[in-house]
Amino acid sequence: MTTQPAPAAPQRVQSTPPSRSNRWRLPRLGRVILWAFVALACLLSVAPFYLMFVWASLPGDQIFNVPPHFWFGNAFAENIQRMLVATDYLALRYFWNSLYIATLSTVTTLFFCSLAGYAFAMYDFRAKGYLFGFILLTMLIPPLVMDIPSFLVMNNFLHWIGEPRALWVPGMANAFGIFLMRQYIVSALPKSLIEAARLDGATEFGIYLRVVLPLIRPILATLGVVTFVASWNNFKGALIMKLSDTTTTTLPLALRKITGGATNVNVDWGANLMLVLLTVIPLLIVFLFASRQVISGLTSGAVKD
């Protein structure tokens, strides 16, 4: 991704020849030990994913084999079949429900957050500082405190319980997204560009749509992936808002219901692990697609003040 604004190169007065003195010069053995430490960490990060795939490819009665299998079996297709039958072919429906909520959540979040972030970055208006400060302040509320009251609003006032919009509407314009967008736009877009578009007779919304949006694609990708992943993984929200009908239930909720928790050995693990894979694979795809962008986008938001 080269679209990130390049930070100005530090002006370094070089009186001595460039040195790598700030790095550790370790003896070979020390370096090998350090690399082994990093390699072990990577291995442990990946191991559960690897096991997930290995187990999903084994016949159900071999998953909990002693000694365990560490290499792939040949029951992958069979397990897919079993999963479809075990869920009355509803697994794909759950998948669709999750996708539907995550997509709506992502699109609306990107729109509203970038719009507000743009306003805070590029306009001067009365009480701007207070309004932005207030938005940042709301980030301090722990999500847990919101669980009960938001259920009550959905249940007793809006009657949205059991409906997908209970999951994606409240977070459409969220503090984190607005903050991330504002930080990026302040550093990446010159004000003169907006002025130029204005002189050309563009409307304010037109400027946002045709000038700003195309130029902030990198940060849109970051926030988009983060929002999609968070929505896709939202278990507690779906649990609280009772998305329990087969027509509305999401994958994580269905996963928990079907496997009956994690310790039950007497279920069809071949089928269940397929459902686990169905939940995890989209995340892997989305993330591997944009991991660099997401990591750099997220941490740049964290470092800047």
Partner 1 sequence: MQKRVPLTTSPPRPRWSYARFQQHFAPYIFTSPFFILFLIFGLFPLGFSLFLAFHLWSPLDGLGNWQYVGWENFQLALGARDQFWAALKNTVFIGLLAGVPQHLVALPLAFVIHQSLRRWQGAVSTVLFLPYITNAVAITIVFGMLYSERLGLLNYLISGLGLDPVRWLGNPSMVPYSVAMVVFWRYVGWNVVLYLSGLQAISEDVYEAATVDGASSWQKFFYITLPLLRPMMFYAFTLTIVGNMQLFEEPYILLGQSGGSGGAGLTSATHIFNVAFRDLDMGYASAMSWLLFLAIFVLSMVNNYLFSRGGGRS
The span from the CA of 176 to the CA of 218, in Å, is 16
From 156, 166, 157, 158, select the one nearest 242 (Cα to Cα).
166
Q: Which of residues 99-118 bind partner 1 (CB under 8 A)?
A: 112, 115-116, 118
Query: What residue type is 169 in one-letter code?
Result: V
Q: Which of residues 10-29 bind partner 1 (CB under 8 A)?
A: 10, 12, 16, 19, 21-24, 26
> Shortest distance, CB of residue 140 to partner 1, whole angstroms?
8
Does 255 participate in binding partner 1 (rule CB under 8 A)?
Answer: yes
Q: Which of residues 211-230 bind partner 1 (CB under 8 A)?
A: 229
Mark residues 127-156: x for contact with partner 1 by CB under 8 A, - for none. Answer: -x--x---x--x--xxxxxxxxxxxxx-xx
Does 289 participate in binding partner 1 (rule CB under 8 A)?
Answer: no
**Are the C-beta atoms of 114 and 213 separated by less than 8 Å?**
yes
Which residue of 259, 268, 271, 274 would you call a contact of partner 1, by CB under 8 A? Answer: 259
> Shortest distance, CB of residue 67 to partner 1, whole angstroms?
7
Write out the DSSP string of 232-298.
Answer: HH--HHHHHTT--STTT--HHHHHHHHHTSS---SS-HHHHHHHHHHHHHHHHHHHHHHHHHHHHHH
Tokens encoding 209: 């749509």
> Interacting stretch for partner 1, rule CB under 8 A, among 81-89, 185-193, 213-221, 271-279?
271-279
Q: Which of residues 52-71 bind partner 1 (CB under 8 A)?
A: 52, 55, 63-68
Tokens encoding 43: 């291995």
Does 302 participate in binding partner 1 (rule CB under 8 A)?
Answer: yes
